[in-house]
Structure 1
Amino acid sequence: MVSVGYFLSCEEFGPRELVEQARKAEAAGFDRLWISDHFHPWIEEQGQSPFVWSVIGALSEVTSLPITTAVTCPLIRTHPVVVAQAAATAAVQCRGGFTLGVGTGEALNEHVTGEQWPPPPVRLEMLEEAIEIIRALHSGEVVSHRGTHYTVDHARVYTLPERPVPIFVSGFGPAATKLAARAGDGFCTVSPDAELVDLYRREGGGGRLVQGGMKVCWADSEAAGVRTAHQRWRNELLPGKLPSTLPNPADFTAAAELVTEEMVRDQFACGPDPQAHLDKVQAFVDAGFDEVYVQQIGPDQDAFFDGWKADVLPRLSRGA
C-alpha cells in the first residue's frame, strides 16, 4: 500500500503559510511531509523562498508527521558540514522523524555565492563526497577530511538524534540513480519512471524506500485549475538541462513562455474530479514507488485538503 504525503512548496509559500498547510495536511489524513529547499523560486510568479531549516523547526512544533527535504543541495551554497549540523538538529526537533533528501541541485540556487557551476559529472562527485562527510559527522566523532572537493578541519556535531539521519538521494537519470543506490538510504524523484526505480533496485537499492513527488491543482473546474497551474508552475515542463542550468527566476520566467496551457493540462491533474487525481497517484504506484508526495498548486489549499480528505485519500487507502 502506497503512503501518501503532502509536498510543502517553499517556492510558492511563506513560512507561516507552510506551517499552516502542514497542520491541515495532518488533519486531512496525509502520512508525511516533503519540503523543498531553495534560495530562489523557479519563476517570478511563485514569489517566495524561505530558509527551509527555520521552517522545519517551526513544523516540528505543530505536526507529528515525518519530514523529508526534497531536496537539499550540500554542494556549494551550503557546505556539507553545515548541512550535517542542520539535519542533525532537525532530526532532534522532529523526534527522529526527519530524513535528509539530497541532490546535485540547480544553478538557480547554487550560483548565488559566486562559485562556478560545475558540469553534471563533477556535481555527482561532489554529492558523493558530501554524503560521506555528513555520515561521518553524524557518527558523533571528530572529523577531519581533505578530499577532492571539500576540506573539513576537526569538526564535530554535538547535537545528534538517537539514530543517524537517513539520507535519500534524488535522481533524474541513470548516473544519479546509481549513486542513490550506492550511497543513499533511499531514492527520490519526481516522475513515475519505472525504469529508474528498476535501475535503482538492481544497482543495490533493493528493498529501500522510493519516494516520488507530483503536483496537482484542485479547483472548481479543470479550466480554472489549468490557468492556475500554468501561471504558477509552467516551468515544470521545461525540457532537458534547462532546469539545472538557468541561473535566475527571470530566465526561467522567460523560457517558460514557451509552455502552453494545453501542455500543463496534460502534465497535472487539474480540477475537482477525484479520478483524475487518483490516476496520477496510480502512475507512481504502478512504477513501484513506496511513498508519493502531492503538492497543491496555488492559494486554494482548503478546497484541496477538503477534496482529498473526502474523495481521494479514502479510495487510496482502500486500494481503489
Structure 2
Amino acid sequence: MPQYGYFLSCEEFGPADLVEQARMAEQAGFEALWISDHYHPWNDAQGQSPFVWSVIGALSQAVSLPIETAVTCPTVRIHPAVVAQAAATSAVMTNGRFRLGVGTGEALNEHIMGHTWPPASVRMEMLEEAVQVMRRLFTGEEVSHHGTHYTVENARLYTVPDEPVPIDISGFGPKATALAARVGDGYITMSPDESMVEQFRKGGGGAKPVSGGTKVCYGTDRDEAVRTVRRLWSNQLLPGEMGQVLPSPRHFEQLEPLVTEEMVRENTVCGDDVDDHVCALAAFAEAGFDRVYVNQIGPGQRGFFDFYRTKVLPQLPR
C-alpha cells in the first residue's frame, strides 16, 4: 500500500507559504513532501518561483518529513555538478530524508541562458550522463569527467550524506520510462497508468519505488473551484509537447482559451465530494504506485488540509 504525500508548488506560492503548508501537511498526516523546481511559473497568475534549494533548507528545519524534488532538470540551466552539491547538502540537512527527482525539463525554465533547447532524444542523453556525473560525486571522491555533454575537472563534494542520494527519474512516455527503469533509483510519473508501472518494473526497475502525483482543488463551491483551476493551471490540460517546448509564461497564457471549464470538470477533481478525492488517489494505489502526492490548487490551503485530515486520508488504501 502506498504512502501519501503533499506536493508543494513553487510556481504558486512563496517560500514562507510553502514552509507553512509543509507544517500543515505533517500535522494533517501526510507522510512525505514533493516540491517543484522552476525558474518561471507557468503563467503570471500563478505568480511565484522561489529557488527550490533555499526552500528545502528551510523545510529541513521546519518538518521531519522526507522531501523530494519533483522534478529538477540537471542538464541545461544548472550543471549536474552543482545540482549534485545542492542535493548532497539537502540530504545532510534532512538526515538522509532527501531524494532527488530529475527529468528532462521544459524550455520554460531551461532556455534562460540562451542555449539551444535540444530535442527530446538529446535531452534524455544529457539526463543519463548527468545522472552518471552526480552519482560519482555523491561518493565524496574527486571526479574528472569528459563526456559528450559535460566536463567536470577535479570536483569533489566534501559535504555528503552517509548514503548516496537516491535519484528518481521522471517519465511520461515509453522511452523515458525505459530510461528510468535502466538507470533510476525510482520512477516518477503523473498519471495512474498501470502499463507504465509494469514497463518500469519489467524493464529493470523491479521493486524500486514508483511515485505519482495529482492536483485537486478542494472547495465548498465546485464551480468556483473549476474557475480557480482554469485560471491558475490550465497549462496542465494542454496536449502534446507544448509543455516542454514553449519558452515563456506569456506563451502559455496565449493558449488558455483552448482550455474550457468543461475540460477542467472532466479532468481535475474540484469541490468537496469526498469520494471524488479518495478515488483520484486510490487510482494510483490500484495501478501499483508506492507513493502518491496531491497538490491543492488555489488559496484554500487550510481548508484542504482539514478536509484531508478528517475525511480523505482515513479512507485511502494503506
Normalising to structure 2: TM-score of the pair? 0.99
Match of 1:137 in 2: 137
Shift of 1:221: 2.0
Match of 1:289 in 2: 289
Shift of 1:128: 0.1
Shift of 1:147: 0.3
Match of 1:19 in 2: 19
Shift of 1:47: 0.6
Say which SS state the counterpart of residue 169 (structure 1) adopts: strand
Q: How many residues align?
A: 318
- Correspondence list, 1:39-54, <5 A: 39-54=39-54
Match of 2:265 in 1: 265
CA distance in 1, matches of 2:11, 2:135: 28
Match of 2:125 in 1: 125
- Correspondence list, 1:54-93, <5 A: 54-93=54-93
CA distance in 1, matches of 2:99, 2:221: 36
Say which SS state the counterpart of residue 99 (structure 2) adopts: strand
Shift of 1:287: 1.2
Match of 1:105 in 2: 105
CA distance in 2, matches of 1:257, 1:64: 42
Say which SS state the counterpart of residue 281 (structure 2) adopts: helix
CA distance in 2, matches of 1:19, 1:128: 32
Residues 209-262 of structure 1, C-alpha deviations (whole Å, 9 max, x = no match): 000010000001211211111111111000001000000000011112210011
Match of 1:147 in 2: 147
Shift of 1:285: 1.3
1:114 and 2:99 are equivalent in the alignment: no
CA distance in 1, matches of 2:240, 2:7: 24
Shift of 1:12: 0.3
Match of 1:246 in 2: 246
Match of 2:162 in 1: 162
CA distance in 1, matches of 2:5, 2:32: 4
Amino acid at match of 1:182: R
Shift of 1:74: 0.4
CA distance in 1, matches of 2:155, 2:163: 19
Give unmatched runs, 5+ long, in structure 1: none
Match of 2:224 in 1: 224
Shift of 1:194: 1.1
Say which SS state the counterpart of residue 61 (structure 1) adopts: helix
Match of 1:307 in 2: 307
Residues 1-40 of structure 1, C-alpha deviations (whole Å, 9 max, x = no match): 2210000000000000000000000000000000000000
Amino acid at match of 1:208: K
- Correspondence list, 1:172-187, <5 A: 172-187=172-187
Residues 65-102 of structure 1, C-alpha deviations (whole Å, 9 max, x = no match): 00000000001100000000000000011110000000
Instruction: Tell me the percent identity.
Output: 61
CA distance in 2, matches of 1:125, 1:194: 26
- Which range is displaced more, 216-225 or 150-159? 216-225
Say which SS state the counterpart of residue 196 (structure 2) adopts: helix
Residues 117-155 of structure 1, C-alpha deviations (whole Å, 9 max, x = no match): 000000000000000000000011100000000000010
CA distance in 2, matches of 1:240, 1:126: 22
CA distance in 2, matches of 1:94, 1:141: 22
CA distance in 2, matches of 1:254, 1:163: 46
Residues 255-290 of structure 1, C-alpha deviations (whole Å, 9 max, x = no match): 122100110111111101111001101211121111
Q: CA RMSD in A?
A: 0.7
CA distance in 1, matches of 2:247, 2:160: 35
CA distance in 2, matches of 1:99, 1:300: 28
User: Runs of at least 4 residues of structure 1 off by over 2 A?
Assistant: none
Amino acid at match of 2:280: K
CA distance in 1, matches of 2:247, 2:255: 12
CA distance in 1, matches of 2:254, 2:288: 36
Amino acid at match of 1:88: A
Amino acid at match of 1:150: Y
Say which SS state the counterpart of residue 7 (structure 2) adopts: strand
CA distance in 1, matches of 2:186, 2:136: 18
